[in-house]
Chains A and B, each alone.
Chain A
Amino acid sequence: MAAAERITTPPISFLKDAWRRFKANPMALLGLAVLVFFVLAAFLGPYIANHSYSDQSVILHDKPPSGEYWFGTDALGRDLFVRVLMGGRISLAVAVYAGLLQLAVGVAYGAIAGLRGGRIDNFMMRIVDIMDTIPLTIYVILLAVLLKPGLTSIFLAIGMVYWTGMARLVRASVLALKEQEFMLAARALGANRSRLVFRHLVPNAMAPIIVELTFSIPRAIFTESFLSFIGLGVSAPMASWGVLASEGFLGLRSYPWELAFPAAAIILTTLAFNFVGDGLRDALDPKLRR
């Protein structure tokens, strides 16, 4: 990778190289496979399943897993399997929207702070420090209480609060990259400001951003399930994994599978995202390898 190559768009051979490294990591591949499977199941599953997520057969309530109802039924006789799949759609959707919102706010905030530097940077980071002193979850709860209940409010609440991590990351990347030699070289070759930012800064900063995004998704899923458990989640008959878990909790003593299946879904997804995140981190920045 000669210096000349790096002056143009770094990612081309870099991506291939990173993918190769990623492939070499078995846990990361496993995680990716699980995720792809889950996403497919969540979006296609309900179409091919026998029951709709809201169909109730009250007589058949709280039945254990069987041939007819793969995960059993819940308290209102609804097919738990389909509900878990639907829950997957909703939990993942919340997580992804929230992640993107965090991305937008965080990247913008961090980039501005890093690029401007000086007092503006100082001031902006003080604000972030102050925000971080209080566990962000409390803010999320508050927002969720005060906004109209529903899906939108949840991902708005999560996205609007959790961006601080991303902002710090982006700022650090920008600060570090600003001073690196390739930036200087590009400017010496005559690149103007926007070209500098988009063709050079952004591709090199992408790696930690992507990794952070991958880790933010399980965090969002956790938070969403937390909110649902408290009662701030999506409303019936829509079901996210958090809602299913809290419903399942009510019948824990006698019908443990009602909690077990959504819980397993959450755990597996979290682990999968964590493995993929670790794999991405190792693949995209081998210098961090232990």
Chain B
Amino acid sequence: MSKPILTIEGLETQFKTYAGMVQAVRNVNLTVHEGEVLAIVGESGSGKSVTMMSMMRLLAKNAVIKGKAIFNGVDLLQISNKEMSKIRGREISMVFQDPMTGLNPVLTIGTQMREGIMLHMGLNKAEANRRAIELLTKVGVPEAERRLTQYPHEFSGGMRQRVMIALGLACNPRLIIADEPTTALDVTIQAQILELMKQLKKEMNTAIILITHNLGVVAGMADRVAVMYGGRVCEVGTCHQIFHEPKHPYTWALLRAIPRLDESAGDKRRLESIAGSPPNMLKPPGGCPFHPRCAHAMNVCTGEAPEMTELGNNHRAACWLMHPDAPKVDFDQEVTKA
């Protein structure tokens, strides 16, 4: 295992709102190693984006953040905003979900690309231009030189997302956070973008945190996976462990919910969804956040949140079923047969 470059410890993020304190992230612990792809999976509202935004210090002023986020020996949550802005874009970059609104409509693509490059790498305009052309070509934007003088509205959605990725790569960061980078694109473009990211990761050995709710994307890209629900991490493990030896009921539910095309006509199975709705983070349920929707919930689940249990080989799950006194429940292995 390569060495860890980012360690998040005990991260807790709350938002002050008129209605009260919204607890978006509760006690999250994650590690990312050099050159690996960590996928963070969960429903909308599970806290996956907020965790990353907290670490990047990009949240609004009403956010209250506690805990540690150690990158390269520096606790990102303790440094000043000025110092953080030196790290953003340079050491850690972030690619956002919606390419249609992520680019400034009144500035040329060239200006927006050169901005970061000139700032972080100290190049002059001509050198920055050359680098921008290089980057655009690398991400698959044809006629890069001409494109630099154009405006975002002259690009298609897929092209814009490529530009966003190029922005993410511009200063050779050690870690890229990609927040649902393909959700807003259609399927064929999705595939292209993911291929691109895999290729780039191989070339530049960048670590990637991939936030997504799409398990298909995870299977294709991730080295390790963290499953989040209700602001907490439920299960962490390698891609193989999560797909073939899942231990947390929520992970099971997610896997079961994947529609499958390979069933024969006689084998009809209803599309499984998870009953219930995501928790209200203003007043989250006590104990384990998943217990209201969990088929295996026990009394202890309503009272106390389970700790992370080591399952060996860096596979961890936070569930009372892992307790030696709990009943043995086996996941329906059918679903995970490849």
A contacting B, Cβ–Cβ less than 8 Å: no
